[in-house]
Structures are given as structure tokens and as C-alpha cells.
Amino acid sequence: MPEVRPAAVTPRPRLAPDQSEPERSLDESVPDEIHAVLTAFLDGRRDLAFDADEGFARTVVDRLRSFILDGGKRIRPLFAWWGWRAAGGARGGPQAETMLRAAGALELVQACALVHDDVMDRSPLRRGAPALHAAHARSHRDNAWEGDSERYGDALAILTGDLALVWADDMLDDAGLSPAQRAAARPAWQAMRTEMMAGQFLDVHGQARRDPSEFAALRIARLKTAAYSVERPLHFGAAIAGAAPEVVAALRGYGGDVGTAFQLRDDLLGVFGDPATTGKPAGEDLSEGKRTLLLAIGLRRAQERGDTDALEALTSVTGTREPERIERARAALDRLGAREAVEERIDHLTARGISRLAEAVVEDSARAALGEIAGRIARRGN
């Protein structure tokens, strides 16, 4: 008897019919609209997966679908949308729907990055729940299957991340962009993915080499997060709208600064954040030896001041999850003023990024929205 599959819900993007509504309200509605286009796309891909193999669909695809739809802030599609709007892209109509579908593809790139990052970092949690590799490993253990549970979990998580990256191209292909729009967006799309991989390489390589420099930490922040989270999504959306080079340059300047501030806030949350809010173990970045600006400043100041106690606290915490060691390292960073220094850098980058749009020829509603978003992500608590 043929399998009866659960009915897939495929809502259309919820585009507001009242064009008189202030455009700034999109700052709240775009994430919901992106969720709708992602749901429609993933439901269609789920059907294809069932045609290939039911076990694959239920074990890999359903978990990927839940991972994407049940969490995330939709930051990257949001910036792509405001890049589109900044360059004069329409709010309503077929072109707006096309842009939403294209922007949704960025969430699939993000899913790949997060799943693979958790494997590389051996992170047990993501968004307060077991990371995908950990969840698959637990399934392997619970079922007493053959082989090594951890390797099984890693393998399925890597496969899931690869699938998300493949589907990102599929979603972009299916978005309905014109040939001219595809050609305009291609440089941003290609650069974004390459820069993301380069940033991840620098992160892994920097941990192995224990590179303590602040320059290296900022380079990682720029490539691993700023470029693919803010700068290139803005570039991507603006290119689809046919933006002039000077508009793209202004948006990218804003994106580089605000995106770096976004990562620096993430670095602070990774050390000082509340696990109940961040969904990550307390002090995880310290345990993993992440080469962040926060740690680089702390190490430099400890050496300059001859603070051997602080230096030992910051170097010995790597590789351990002992609460006492983590708390000692946190206290050292506070005593050295490293947290305050990073807060000041976040404020500076955010203000500079916003100022880059002051004289740019962009839509006023987009300028206001991007200023608001910059302030919000710089102050976020998760």
C-alpha cells in the first residue's frame, strides 16, 4: 500500500495589500513573509526527498526543515530585502514576491554554515536544543546501531549542511529572477559563499595556531559574519534592484561595519551571555579557544600589565568546560577592561556604519530601517 504523506502547507508570501501603510513596518513583517516562502520551498523539496527515499526524507530532510523553520532571526534575508528597497525595489507586486524568494535562499546558506560550524566546534547545543550532529548521535545510541555514534552524527550533519547549500542554489534558481537580475546578483552571491568559507577557515586555523592578534580576530569577524550576514546580502538585494555602483558601495560600507559589530556582540554573548537566552553553553567560546577580539584584547592587556594571573586564566580555560575556570577567565576579561573595549568598538562601528548612509542616494524608508536594525542588532541579547 503506498505511503500516505502528511499534507504539506504551502502558504504564499503575505504581502500587505494596503500600499499606504508605512514602509518601515516591513522591519517586522519581512521575517514572517520569508518564513512563508521558505515553508513553500521546503515542502516542495520534502516531496522530492520522499520520491528519492523515505528514510532520507524523515531522517535528514525533516530535521533540516525543522531547523530552518523553527528558529532563526531571518537577519540575512532582511538585509537583502532592505538592500532591494534601498535601491528602489518595489514593496508589492510580482517583483516583491520574486525578491522574497531570492532572499529566502540566504537562510539555506545560513543553515549550512550553522550545522557545519557546530560539527567543527563540537557544540552540543544550538538555539537551546541539541545541535543536529548531537541529535543524530543520540538517535544512533538510543537504537543501539552498529558503529560509532559520534561519527554517525557528524556524517549526517555534514550531509544536512551540504543539502542546505545545494538547495540554496535551487531556491535562487526557482525564485523567478530575470536573466539580467541573475547576472547582476551573481557576483554578490558567489563572493558571499566564498568569503563565508574563508572566514570559517580562518576561525579554525586561528584556533590551531593560537593567533592572539586583534587584526586576525577582526579579519575573522569581517569574513565569517559581516560579509555573509550583512554586507553581501545588502549587495545581493541592491544588485537585483539594479542599484548604481555608488549605492552598492554605500550599502557595503554600512554592512561591513554593522556586520562586524554584530559579530562582536555575538562574541560578548558567547562569553557573558545567559544560556537561557542565547541557547548556547555559558563560556563556550572560551572553552573552544575562539580567537575573538575580546580574547585578543584581554591577552594583550594581560601581557602589557604583567598580569600573570589573568594570562594564566585566559590560556588555561581552552579545552575545559569547568564552570570555575570559565568564571575565572570571565573575571579576568572584566578586570582587564576587555569587555568594555569591545562594547566601545561595537558603538563606534554601529555609528560609523549608519553614517555611511547619511549622504547616500537610497530610499528614505530604507535608510531609516537600516539605522533601526543596526541599533537593534548591536544591543541584542541573543
Q: Which domains does the chain have, with CATH numbers?
A: 10-16+24-177 (1.10.600.10), 179-382 (1.10.600.10)
Q: Check whether 242 has a pLDDT greater than 70.
A: yes
Per-residue pLDDT averaged across 148-153, rounded?
98
Q: Per the structure block, which three cell numbers stand in for 40?
A: 513553500
Is pLDDT at 143 greater than 60 in this prediction? yes
Q: Of 186, 256, 266, whose CA–CA distance to 228 is shortest?
A: 256
pLDDT (average), residues 149-159: 98
Q: What is the largest CA-CA distance in the chain?
A: 75
Residue 270 CB neighbour total at 10 angstroms: 21
Band the pLDDT of 28: cuts 50, 70, 90: low
12-16, 278-282, 290-294: which is most confident: 290-294
So what's the pLDDT on residue 93? 81
Element (H, E) at 152: helix 149-173
- C-alpha–C-alpha distance, residues 301 and 321, integer Å: 24
Computed over every residue of the chain, the mean pLDDT equals 91
Least confident window among 70-84, 131-145, 272-286, 359-373: 272-286
CB atoms within 10 A of CB 281: 15
Q: Could you identify the residue written with the cell 537600516?
A: 370
- Does residue 377 contact residue 352 with C-beta atoms inside 8 Å? no
Q: Which residue, chain included where needed, has cell 537593534?
A: 376
Q: What angle (nearest 5°) sits at the alpha carbon of residue 212, between those of residues 211 and 213? A: 100
Residue 20 has pLDDT above 50, yes or no: no
How does pLDDT run across 337-363, given as a tens digit for each residue? 999 999 999 999 999 999 999 989 999
Indicate yes or no: pTM above 0.85.
yes
